[in-house]
A and B are shown apart, each in its own frame.
Chain A
Amino acid sequence: MNYFAKEIQMKKYILLTVGMALFAYNSTAQAEDAASIMNKAHLASYYAADDGKASVYMEIINPDGGKRIREFTILRKDVEDGGDQKFYIHFKKPNDVRDMTFLVNKHPDRDDDRWLFIPSIKMVKRIAASDARAAFVGSDYTYEDISGRHPNSDNSELVGEEDFDGRKTWLLKNTPKEELDDYSWRNTWVDQETYLVLKESYYDEDGEEVRRFTTDEYKKVDGFWVGIAGTMENFELEHKTRVRFSNVKLNVGVPNKVFTERSLKSAPKKWIR
């Protein structure tokens, strides 16, 4: 039972970590239509450079302020911009998931391929794709809003331009083409210079804000703008999750062989430090 619980928990981590993809920058700010803006925001958020690595520190915060911590290293390599990607995720904390490792081959057009390494019995287990809207372990992220919802899944409408925290942004209204259970539409504030999503508010059918994502901090890393701190809040559950990246490096030349079963059984120490 212990093992199943762990596995389910870990499945959820994948969702989060895939979404921890690094944010990038595109300098041409000009009159654009909504679809083009959302597309560039998608690329900026999830496909910066050709590869990257980062240490991730995550706090899952209860309504009473209680915190649970997760720490992991994530390695990413793009097969194609906007297309397939590979992820290697190695957990450091807490102790009960230490050395647990995920390998994910992300395919936007079909199910992802995923493998999990369970260190206590030295077992590599192939795992099934999760429900895209599933929330992970008491966290406030869903799989999809973190692994990158494909821009084609929404009807996007440019509402206007707004100043947000001293930044010029485009405000877009995105309505899912297929009805979802957890929200009806969302407003997205995209920075005009960096194409980073600075804020995203999710509304239910009554127009009540139910969830909110904010980019809390971003900086230029190796020539790309990267969001390095973010928060996802759930107002219904009064629950939130904070994420902070450190040690972010882009275009570091992570070799393909890092993204293999071998690396699950024997972690590439040089890359996960």
Chain B
Amino acid sequence: MMQPESVSKAAGVSFFLRSLKSIALAALLFSSASALAVEIDVHGFLMGTASSRVNSTPLKTGEKNNWLLSEERLQVELSAESDEGDTAMVAKINFLNDHVAGNADIDVRELYGEYIADDFEVRIGRQMLTWGVTDRLFINDVFPKNWSAFFAGQPLEYMKIGSDMAKVFLFGDSWDVELALIPIAQFDITPGTDRFVVFDPGFSVVEPENRLSNGELAGRLHTTFGTTDIALYAFKGFWHQPDKGVSGTNIIYPRLNSYGFTVQDTVMGGVLSLETGFYHSIDDNSGTDPLIANSQYRYMVGYEREVATDVTLGLQWYGEVMNNHASYLAAAEPLFRLA
């Protein structure tokens, strides 16, 4: 079994290489843009972030590190568009000095080119998608999240991770459709023992092989009836969390198909939201494999309204219902007896 340390180092290096390639691509894209005398907009910010525990807790690595987060980050956003406004390029790159990890890194948050026609758009590259009507709970937003950044106290923006994808956006007068093809699945980043006090089973993570059949597909159809927003969602890909499958001493990401819908409208001065989805865990269809997550239904009912000037109160009721619960219990029981 690999040591967790070497796993994380290897991941760091490949990530860095991936970033370098992206930067080279960005440089190429923008140098060709400047050759065509296109104006490039540059925006950005410099941010210092630190968050600390109030008591001293040894992490699994034995070090006492009270800092969850201590970093400086420079975000540079470059964008350019053609005179007609039909083609555009965007690069959002973060340069960070991470005192907790003890290194400097480059994070390519977004990097894409797009073509915009009257009734469709194509956007190719690393980009972010946010779907659904839940607030910090996710049903039809199946896209990868950075839970480590979220729990360490980074701004909300850093909870989302971009995926490399080709996205087509089609629209009519009263409807629009988004279709995303993600060739290589991107998984959630979960809190690790480098910053958090969490149990580490010492398992290795095995991601699906990079081949076309392991690509992911996501689609959303949105329309309005009167003042009501309605959207339908479908996804074919993988579970993105590391607690959904185990094979030997490896964490694996089982296959997942999901389907769902959202309804949202203004009701009595507030906004009423409904969201539901069925997560079909197709590698454990019958629910008899205790090492792979069962299928489940997820639902959320939410209401948000301004209760006083500049004070908004939002309430959400969220539920998950496991499919084939009896099969899961029957299959899991012997495992616990052995343990």
Which residues of A are in contact with B by a Cβ distance under 8 Å? 2-4, 7-8, 11-12, 95-96, 98, 105, 111-113, 120-124, 126-131, 133-135, 256-257, 260-262, 265-266, 269-270, 273
B227 within 8 A of A: yes
Which residues of B are in contact with A by a Cβ distance under 8 Å? 43, 45, 81, 85, 88, 116, 121, 127-130, 133, 155-157, 159-160, 169, 171, 173-174, 176, 222, 224, 227, 229, 264, 266, 269-271, 273, 304-306, 308-310, 312
Q: Give the CA-CA distance A256 to B224 in the complex, in Å.
A: 14
Task: Please give, as numbers and ranges, the residues of chain A lying within 8 Å of B43 by CB-CB distance.
Answer: 95, 98
Interface centre among B129, B159, B309 (most CB of A within 10 A): B309
Q: Give the CA-CA distance A266 to B127 in the complex, in Å.
A: 13
Task: Please give, as numbers and ranges, the residues of chain A lying within 8 Å of B227 by CB-CB distance.
Answer: 105, 113
Q: Give the CA-CA distance A8 to B312 in the complex, in Å.
A: 8
Interface contact A8-B229, CB-CB below 8 Å: no
Looking at the assembled complex, report how far the CB atom of B162 sits from the nearest CB atom of chain A, in whole angstroms.
9
Interface contact B306-A128, CB-CB below 8 Å: yes
With A2-B156, A95-B45, A269-B85 in contact, do A262 and B171 touch (Cβ < 8 Å)?
Answer: yes
Task: Please give, as numbers and ranges, the residues of chain B lying within 8 Å of A111 by CB-CB distance.
Answer: 266, 269
Looking at the assembled complex, report how far the CB atom of A255 sits from the nearest CB atom of chain B, in whole angstroms.
9
* CB-contact partner of B266 in A123, A128, A135, A257, under 8 A: A128
Interface contact B157-A128, CB-CB below 8 Å: no
Interface contact B306-A131, CB-CB below 8 Å: yes
Interface contact B271-A262, CB-CB below 8 Å: no
Task: Please give, as numbers and ranges, the residues of chain A lying within 8 Å of B171 by CB-CB distance.
Answer: 257, 260, 262
Interface contact A269-B116, CB-CB below 8 Å: yes
Q: Give the CA-CA distance A2 to B156 in the complex, in Å.
A: 8
Task: Please give, as numbers and ranges, the residues of chain B lying within 8 Å of A113 by CB-CB distance.
Answer: 227, 266
Interface contact B169-A261, CB-CB below 8 Å: no
* CB-contact partner of A128 in B174, B224, B229, B271, under 8 A: B271
With A111-B269, A129-B269, A266-B121 in contact, do A260 and B156 touch (Cβ < 8 Å)?
Answer: no
Q: Give the CA-CA distance A109 to B38 in the complex, in Å.
A: 47
Q: Give the CA-CA distance A4 to B304 in the complex, in Å.
A: 13
Given pairs A121-B130, A131-B306, A266-B116, 15 additional interface contacts (CB within 8 A): A12-B310, A95-B43, A98-B43, A113-B266, A122-B127, A123-B130, A124-B130, A126-B264, A126-B273, A127-B271, A133-B309, A261-B224, A262-B169, A269-B85, A270-B85
